[in-house]
Amino acid sequence: MREQVISELERTGVPFTVNAPMHTYTTWKIGGRCDLIVFPRTIEEISAAVRILNAEAVPWMVIGKGSNMLVSDEGFRGAVLRLAGEWDTASFNEDGVLAGGGFSLITLSLQAAKHGFAGLEFAGGIPGTVGGAVCMNAGAHGSDVSQILSRAFVMDEKGDAFWLKARDLAFSYRESVLQRKPWIVLKALFSLSRGDRLTIAENTKRYKEKRMRTQPLKQPSCGSVFRNPLPLFAAEILESCGLKGYSIGGAQISGLHANFIVNTGGATADDVRALIRLAQARAKQERGVDLVTEVKFVGFSSE
């Protein structure tokens, strides 16, 4: 990492770590080291970090909880921004909640239920952060972020921040315009409706218990690997191809849910990528379906 970048970050007081092991920041527990990981806590810090990195032509990316991400075994030659401070908070009012991009989506769902707000029950078992959920239009149980998002406060690649309305994000199934722009979701304003606390809590609990029964949540994974090729389901396709439980190295297509690849211990990024490619090839060969990943590949020269 360039000495000038380190010097400038130290001058601005932005917390950072050099030569950081990415496996500690991803839900797959896989990945080599990145040159630098920065933990901006305020609008001033994140803007300063982006401008410093840009000035020195250092590649950078943003992560939340590290789900839906496969970092190569060689790591990432650049800087990683991980939102902290005010970006890891949430505040409720009479109309809903304003949540930071680094706030846990699962925690937000549970807090909404506690406050008697309906609308976030579907998110009770989705790993990751609010920022990632907005970017990916995360969803489950017939609902998704696009149905409750009012506005998002984002920062562009130059370090300028502004509000966007939900309609500006061009939401579709697991898609938004944010996936095609290097922008950062700093905050999200969700419009929620008041409801019966007991009913909301029961629905949230029911969704969570279903996930516990049907998904390998006790093993390291990225969440769902493939988007569902609606009206079909990726898990059903892979199961019909006989891939449940299939392993390459330490990576395994879960025997509980075939759209999850789990790290059974010591899995490498190459193991996971090889298993993804195998699953795609078999789905195409046996079912004529092109499976598209939800996973972002980081640090792979061929991706």
Please give the positions annotated as active site.
Answer: 174, 224, 294
**Token pair for residue 149?**
């998002």
User: Which amino acid is present at 219?
Assistant: Q
Q: Are 38 and 62 in contact (CB under 8 A)?
A: no
Backbone angles phi, psi at 162, to 5 degrees: -165, 160
**Cα–Cα distances in angstroms (integers) from residue 71 to residues 62, 222, 238, in the given order:** 13, 11, 24
Q: Are 64 and 129 in contact (CB under 8 A)?
A: yes
- Interacting residues of 136 by C-beta distance below 8 A, sequence separation 6+: 68, 128, 145, 174, 175, 176, 179, 294
The whole-angstrom separation of Cα 201 and Cα 115 is: 10
Q: H or E stretch including 283?
A: helix 269-287
Q: Which residues pair with 18 in a beta bridge?
A: 36
Three-class secondary structure of residue 246 per DSSP = coil
Longest dimension (CA), the chain: 58
Burial status of residue 210 (CB atoms within 10 A of its CB: 0-12, 13-18, 19 or more):
middle
Backbone angles phi, psi at 161, to 5 degrees: -110, 145
Q: Are 37 and 25 in contact (CB under 8 A)?
A: yes
